[in-house]
Structure 1
Amino acid sequence: MTALRWLVDLIRGALIGTVEIIPGVSGGTVALITGVYETIITSAGNLVRGVLLALGGIVRADLRPRAREHLRLVRWGVLIPIGIGMLGAIVLASALLAPTIEEYPVETRAVFAGLIVASLVVPARMVGRWGVREVLLALVAAIAAFLLTGLPAVDDADPSLWLVAVSAAFAVCALVLPGVSGSFVLVVIGIYAPTLDAVNDRDLVYLGTFVLGAIVGLAAFVSTLQWLLAHHHAATLAVMTGLMAGSLRALWPWQSESGALEAPTGDVLPIVLLFLAGVAAVSAMVIAETLIVRRREAAAAQDEVSAER
């Protein structure tokens, strides 16, 4: 049973890792569908806090028991095979995607844009009831994101390491929000292609900086984001929805080398079909997630009724 469980979790990790490489497809959504979302988020949070407390325990002995407690709460038997599966899938998917993006930039942006457009339904639906406040927050966030993505693009051939670390810190926040893609954050900032190249080239300095930034983000920003979701749920998700919508500017298929938007050229129909294919792919995933969640809720309700009897 243990070997079978490891195999299942390896496959789950591979699925999550594969979609995390694709801008617009949320690893959090796949984690929800495969039933390991809560385990990953909780265990990752405990792992980071445990490591940080252990480091602090070098100076303060009173922190060591707290560090051991957090590390004890990590579901190692689930987290390790999922992590191995994710890592293997990321390496393989990066090797396939990097040359495709370089050779077909218009086509890949069209697919990615379709993926993002369909993903918007997830945070928008999680808002619940949209009132005037939520609409205004989403509009302001969308305008801000549109303007920011219109700024001159960074030189993404060789991004500075501080930018890599900061980008990773923000991208890891997407783990908390099903429907939000961490890779899309990298696209918007302008370091998506260099990150794929770093994985393919085994650039340990770049990758180490990225991992360090992700750990810092997981320790700092994710906890803050979880607090915002708990105390200002609708407002936070409305802002997220607006940011995603406004950032779609970065995925307009026809762009100059500097990132300026251009009018459609050439044969437009295949580009539209690729966009629609992206929409269809994520829509199918969202529908699957909805059906699975409803089934689990119905089963939980049935269990409660049975327990009361």
Structure 2
Amino acid sequence: MPSLRTFLRGLGAGLLMGAADVIPGVSGGTIALIVGVYERIIQALHASTSVAAALVQGRWPVARRHLQRMHLGLLLPLATGIVAAIAVGARVLPPLLEAHPAPMRGLFLGLVGASLAIPLLRLSAWRSRYAVLALGAAGVAFLLAGLPTADGGDPALLRVFATAAVAICAMIVPGVSGAFLLEVFGLYTATLDAINARDLVYLATFAAGAAVGLGGFARLLHYVLQHYYDATMAVLIGLIAGALRALWPFLESDRSLRWPTESDPVGLVIILAVGGAAFIGLLIWWGHTREHRGDPAEATAGSRTP
């Protein structure tokens, strides 16, 4: 049985990740990295695909062995928090973003920008090839964040399935926003409407596509984290940095960047951005403090999990 502390930590991380996954431009994977559960999530997802394969083959002892590696004490409360936050966030966050776009993006800019420190701290050494990887990833994320969006119409279920398979992969990659990809593919509003209306056919199709996409992509992420850890951290640095474009508080209607004008709430944006960055700084400090006390498994950020 997981301790109450582990349960609450998983639930809290899930609530934060679920809220992030509703917001275009914010990555649930970045939040997982911030709160120190990212690598264990990837390990658990990788183990879950092994469990499924063993069950299909009728290899029960093998399935049981992989099941023990799934961190269920963390994963179950985490999943509960994600589902609850998405259900609430689908109703609360979009209206808030629509009513106060610049201040809200300022807050998210501070939160996500400060989180760059986390993969930076996890690099064992900075090399020129890692800089090339980071710059390339930043360029890709910057271009993706500037894509025009298309939202509208009732999508075909095959399109929902395929889009979910792609978007769920983005949701577990720090710096890449699954909600933003849903916007790009024209399914953001349709998905929120389905959640609010409890459209079970749409949601079941989306869940099936997400399961297929997640199963394959989690194995790839697990492999690169095991064999190319520093290179992966460098790519994550670039993805997070490039994705900051989507969180710039002052955008034109076509998502092009602009400088603030006298009518923009610049002061409030700065205050919220600094506050968000300070909050992440406190999380990183707390994680280092726990690590130095000899409790790396509970470290929030800045520690490298093998």
Give the TM interval when normalised to the shorter protein. 0.7 to 0.9
Residue in 2 that maps onto 1:289: 287
Judging changes above 3 Å, is the alpha-carbon distance between structure 1 residues 121 and 151 closer, same or farther for their aligned structure 2 residues? same
Larger radius of gyration: 1
Q: Map Cα deviations across residues 193-248 of structure 1 (whole Å, 9 max, x no partner).
A: 66555433333344334433432343212221122122222222111111111111
Structure 1 match to 2:167: 167
CA distance in 1, matches of 2:152, 2:217: 25
- Superposed displacement of residue 283, structure 1: 1.6
- Contact 2:16/2:31 (<8 A) preserved: yes
Q: TM-score, normalised by structure 1?
A: 0.76
2:108 maps to which residue? 112
Distance in 1 of aligned mates of 2:206 and 2:85? 18
Q: Could you tell me which amino acid in structure 2 is paired with residue 237 of structure 1? A: M
- 1:51-95 CA deviation, whole Å, 9 max, x = no partner? 2442x33xxx5x555334434554555543443344334423443
More helix by share: 1
Kindly, what percent of the aligned residue pairs are identical? 35
1 CA distance for matches of 2:12 and 2:257? 33
1:50 aligns with 2:54: no
CA contact (8 A) 2:137 2:238 kept: yes
- RMSD over aligned Cα, in angstroms? 3.2
Say if 1:298 and 1:212 are closer, same or farther in 2 by CA, change over 3 A. Answer: closer
Normalising by structure 2, what TM-score?
0.77
Q: Which residue of 2 aligns with 1:207?
A: 203
Task: Out of 85-94 and 238-247, give the one that drifted further.
Answer: 85-94
- How many matched pairs? 281
In 2 relative to 1, CA 263–197 (structure 1 residues): closer, same or farther, beyond 3 Å?
Answer: farther
- Where does residue 63 of structure 2 map in the other structure? 67
Q: SS in structure 1 opposite 2:294?
A: helix
> In the aligned structure 2, how far is the partner of 1:193 from the partner of 1:279?
29
SS at match of 1:242: helix
Cα deviation for residue 121 of structure 1 reads: 0.8
Q: How does 1:1-309 map to 2 (within 5 A)?
A: 8-20=5-17, 21-22=19-20, 23=26, 26-29=30-33, 32=36, 40-54=41-55, 56-57=56-57, 61=58, 63=59, 65-71=61-67, 73-74=69-70, 76=72, 79-155=75-151, 160-161=159-160, 162-172=162-172, 174=173, 180=174, 184-187=177-180, 190=183, 195-265=191-261, 266-267=263-264, 268-296=266-294
